[in-house]
Amino acid sequence: MLARLASLLLLAAATVSAADKPNIIFVFCDNLGNGDVACFNPLTKHRTPHLDKMAAEGMKLTSFYSASGVCTPSRAAAMTGCYPRRVNLHVSNKGTFVLQPVAPKGLNSRETTVAEVLKTAGYATAIIGKWHLGDQPEFLPTRQGFDSYFGIPYSDDMTKDKMPDVWPELPLMRDEKVIEAPVDRDYLTKRYTEEAIHYIEAHQDKPFFLYLPHAMPGSTQHAYSSPAFRGKSANGEWGDSVEELDWSMGEILAALKRLGLDEKTLVIWTSDNGAPQRNPPQGSNLPYKGWGYNTSEGAMRMPCIARWPGKIPAGTECRELASMLDLLPTFAALGSATLPANPLDGHDIRPLLFGEAGAKSPADERGFFYYHMGQLQAVRSGPWKLYLPLEKKLVSGKGRSAQAPLELYNVRDDIAEDREISAAEPEVVKRLLALAEAARIELGDEGREGAGQRPAGWVENPTARSL
Whether 461 is covered by a domain: the verdict is no
Q: Report the amino acid identity of residue 51.
A: L
Considering the domain architecture, whether residues 53 and 127 belong to the same structural domain is answered as yes
Residue 457 lies in a domain: no
Residue 134 near residue 105, CB atoms below 8 Å: yes
116, HSE (Cβ side, Cα atoms, 13 Å): 16
Bridge pairing between strands 316-318 and 59-65: parallel
Asked if residue 18 has pLDDT above 90, the reply is no
Which of 300, 329, 353 is the C-terminal boundary of a domain?
353
- Give 364-398 pLDDT, tens digit per residue: 999 999 999 999 999 999 999 999 999 999 887 65
Candidates 214, 233, 216, 226; CA nearest to 47 is 233
The answer, yes or no, to whether residue 12 has pLDDT greater than 50, is no
How does pLDDT run across 163-193, given as a tens digit for each residue? Answer: 999 999 999 999 999 999 999 999 999 999 9
345 and 386 fall within a common domain: no
126 lies in a domain? Answer: yes
Of 301, 327, 353, which residue is a domain's last?
A: 353
- Rounded to whole angstroms, how far apart are CA atoms 117 and 338? 7
Please report, for the domain that includes residue 438, its CATH number.
3.30.1120.10
Give the pairing of strands 301-307 and 59-65. Answer: antiparallel
Q: Cα(373)–Cα(96) distance, rounded to whole angstroms? A: 8
Kindly state whether residue 9 falls inside one of the protein's structural domains. Answer: no
Give the domain extent around 391.
368-449
Give the total number of structural domains in the chain: 2
**Residue 401, pLDDT score:** 75
Question: Which has more confidence, 3 or 241?
Answer: 241
Q: For residue 315, is pLDDT > 90?
A: yes
**Do 336 and 372 fall into the same domain?**
no
- Domain stops at, among 322, 353, 384: 353
Q: Are 250 and 167 in contact (CB under 8 A)?
A: no
Same domain, 203 and 264: yes
- The distance of Cα 57 from the centroid of its chain, to the nearest Å, equals 21
Cα Rg of the chain (Å, integer): 21
* Strand partners of residue 378: 370, 387
For residues 153-157, average pLDDT: 97
7 in any annotated domain: no
Per-residue model confidence as pLDDT tens digits over 343-360: 999 999 999 999 999 999
CA distance 164 to 396: 25
**What pLDDT score was predicted for residue 5?**
43
Q: What is the mean pLDDT of residues 32-55?
A: 98
Do residues 134 and 214 both lie within one domain? Answer: yes
**Known catalytic residues?**
71, 132
**In the predicted structure, residue 11 carries a pLDDT above the cut 70:** no
CATH number of residue 318's parent domain: 3.40.720.10
pLDDT band for position 56 (cuts 50, 70, 90): very high
Query: What distance in Å separates the CA atoms of residue 429 and residue 431, rounded to the nearest whole number?
Result: 6
Distance CA 196, CA 199 (A): 5
| pLDDT value of position 128 | 98
Cα gap 62→273, rounded to integer Å: 14
Residues 175 and 265 in one domain: yes
279: confidence class by pLDDT, cuts 50, 70, 90: confident
Q: What pLDDT, in 10s, does the model give residues 436-454?
A: 999 999 999 998 999 999 9
pLDDT for the residue 395: 85
User: Could you give phi then psi for residue 172, rounded to 5 degrees?
Assistant: -100, 125
On whether residue 284 sits in a domain, the answer given is: yes
Residues 54 and 147 in one domain: yes
Mean pLDDT of 83-109: 96
* Structural domain includes residue 92: yes
